[in-house]
Structure 1
Amino acid sequence: MSQIASPASHARDSYELVGRRIQRLIAAPGVQKVQVVTVARNDDESPEAWRQVIQEIEETSGVRIEHLDGGAVRIGWRQYCEA
Structure 2
Amino acid sequence: GKSQARFISLSPRWDETFSFTVQVPELALIRFCVEDEISLVANEFLGQYTLPLLSLSKGYRNVPLLSKDGGNLEPASLFVHIWYY
TM-score range, shorter chain: under 0.3
In terms of fraction of residues, the more strand-rich structure is: 2
Higher helix share: 1
TM-score, with structure 2 as normaliser: 0.27
Larger Rg: 1
The alignment's TM-score, normalised by the length of structure 1, stands at 0.28
- The structure, 1 or 2, with the larger RCO (C-alpha pairs under 8 Å, 6+ apart) is 1
